[in-house]
Amino acid sequence: MARVELYVSVDVEADGPIPGPYSMLSFGMAVCGTFDGTEFTASDPSERTFYAELKPIGDDFDPKALEVSGLDRGRLVREGRDPAEAMDAAAAWVRTVAGGALPVLVAYPLAYDWMWLYWYWMRFTSRSPFGHSRHLDIKSLYAAKAGAMVAQSTKRQMPAALLPDRPHTHNALDDALEQAELFQNLFRWGG
């Protein structure tokens, strides 16, 4: 018998396009709900959240990427959390909120957020609380349910009833909450 899955919406803000040469500056996580194979039970995503701002791991950065998030890289150099400590704390949070459920990471778009988080967990803790493959792309979920091409599966092209009420602010926690609401709407949507 399959275990219950717990869906966790995540969002990342970084100072460049890829981890390693560039740094993840912040990430947010919010619990979306659970699925037992038959029934999806939504959670208020604002009730169980995690947010961290991290010290940059190198000197390289793209000024345009910083403009998107609005984060002050100089402040993060001085005040950001140590990446190893933050990733340990995030993994512990995931294990706590999951309890006996199997945590699944959800994001829009998944490739970007997963790339950063997985790289950071492997680099700083050697283990991801989501394993190497427990993740779900919200954009792909929409494309499959809508019978739409991936290129035509942007938020601008989704039915208004699916779109979240929360704004997209480029604050990692705000955006994780927004994506959690979109995921809940899509999961319940018949297509």
**DSSP labels for 28-77?**
EEEEEEEE-SS-EEE--TTTSEEEEEB--SSS---HHHHHHH---HHHHH
- Residue 35's region, left for phi above 0, alpha for psi from -120 to 50, else beta, is beta
Crossing angle for the helix pair 83-98 and 110-124, to the nearest 10 degrees = 110
Question: Would you call 170 a catalytic residue per the annotation?
Answer: yes
Catalytic residue of the set 132, 135, 168, 170: 170
The answer to whether residues 14 and 175 touch, using CB atoms and an 8 Å cutoff, is: no
Catalytic residues: 170
